[in-house]
């Protein structure tokens, strides 16, 4: 007979994963930012991160083939080159850093970044500078390896206005897939990714696939609404992360 706690966890997280996958399928980001706070109700961050990374990698695989033509190869290559080494650094610090403090800071910075983007003046250059591109990659990679929340820097970069919605969405999907694969490989080699993480990710896979496909369909029908929805989503997931971390720090919830 299945463990009631495990069954409850799978059912609740399936609903969460489905919603997070719709968000990821439409915007190109947000899966980990949305799902991680809920996953932390059932497991510690060190156990939840591999599950979220496996699911994010699978979500990228669902749409990546159809998205490849829209990817901006120069920016995604530079971001990946800068970010992948920092993914490894974040993964090493995963068990050492004060997770809730990091999440609180990330949540607050995410809210601030979204509000700044909403009121930012139009960009004055055709493309971002190489320094800005590399900085976005390094910071995103570090946060992805540390708390599976690498979205804010990367999202702020691609939503600033230099790229069309389809290009931004496809490029974020590709980069996030690479950022998820790196810590998973590192964790597998060091024994940090347990079989339980694979089993739980497999149980949540149907909800992930359905949600991702629905999000992709919505994007194809309403691509012009991408930036507005993405900014709102960025504020909401940032608030969720900050509130959850603050409650854990102050009340132990």
Q: Where are the domains of the chain?
A: 4-250
The top-scoring range by mean pLDDT among 1-5, 155-159, 220-224 is 155-159
pLDDT above 70: residue 253? no
What is the three-class DSSP state of 105? helix
State residue 72 phi and psi, 5-degree precision.
Answer: -85, 105
pLDDT digits 0-9 by tens, 231-248: 787 787 778 778 877 887
End-to-end alpha carbon distance in the chain: 30
pLDDT above 60: residue 189? yes
Question: What pLDDT does 151 receive?
Answer: 75
> Contact at 8 Å (CB) between 42 and 119?
no
What whole-number distance in Å separates Cα of residue 109 and Cα of residue 127?
Answer: 24
The stretch 146-151 carries a mean pLDDT of 72
Nearest CA to 173 out of 22, 24, 50, 19 is that of 24
Q: Is 13 exposed, middle or buried (0-12, 13-18, 19+ CB in 10 A)?
A: buried
pLDDT digits 0-9 by tens, 198-217: 888 899 999 999 998 898 88
State residue 240 phi and psi, 5-degree precision.
Answer: -60, -45
Whole-number percent of the chain with pLDDT over 90: 12
> Contact at 8 Å (CB) between 104 and 249?
yes
Nearest CA to 173 out of 99, 102, 239, 226 is that of 226
pLDDT digits 0-9 by tens, 13-71: 999 999 988 888 887 777 877 787 778 777 776 778 788 888 888 887 787 777 788 89
What is the three-class DSSP state of 163? coil
Query: What is the model's pTM?
Result: 0.75
State residue 161 phi and psi, 5-degree precision.
Answer: 130, 0
Question: What pLDDT does 160 receive?
Answer: 79
> Contact at 8 Å (CB) between 242 and 56?
no
Question: What pLDDT does 78 receive?
Answer: 94
What whole-number distance in Å separates Cα of residue 18 and Cα of residue 183?
Answer: 23
Average pLDDT in the chain: 80
> Contact at 8 Å (CB) between 21 and 56?
no
Question: What pLDDT does 82 receive?
Answer: 92
Residue 120 or 209, more confident: 209
What whole-number distance in Å separates Cα of residue 169 and Cα of residue 72?
Answer: 10
């Amino acid at each position: 007979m299945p463990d009631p706690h495990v069954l409850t966890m799978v059912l609740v997280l399936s609903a969460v994963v489905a919603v997070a996958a719709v968000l990821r399928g439409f915007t190109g980001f947000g899966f980990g930012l949305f799902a991680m706070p809920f996953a932390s109700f059932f497991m510690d961050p060190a156990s939840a991160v591999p599950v979220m990374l496996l699911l994010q990698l699978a979500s990228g695989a669902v749409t990546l083939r159809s998205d490849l033509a829209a990817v901006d190869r120069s920016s995604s290559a530079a971001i990946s080159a800068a970010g992948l080494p920092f993914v490894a650094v974040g993964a090493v610090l995963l068990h050492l850093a004060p997770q809730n403090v990091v999440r609180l800071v990330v949540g607050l910075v995410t809210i601030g970044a979204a509000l700044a983007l909403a009121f930012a003046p139009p960009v004055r250059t055709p493309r971002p500078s190489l320094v800005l591109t590399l900085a976005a990659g390094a910071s995103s990679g570090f946060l992805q390896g540390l708390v599976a929340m690498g979205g804010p820097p990367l999202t702020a970069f691609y939503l600033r206005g230099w790229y069309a919605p389809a290009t931004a969405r496809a490029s974020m999907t590709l980069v996030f897939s690479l950022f998820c694969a790196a810590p998973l490989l590192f964790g597998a080699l060091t024994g940090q990714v347990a079989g339980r993480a694979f089993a739980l990710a497999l149980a949540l896979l149907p909800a992930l696939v359905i949600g991702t496909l629905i999000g992709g369909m919505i994007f194809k029908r309403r691509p012009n609404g991408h930036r507005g929805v993405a900014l709102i989503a960025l504020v909401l997931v940032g608030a969720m992360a900050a509130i959850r971390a603050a409650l854990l720090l102050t009340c132990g919830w």
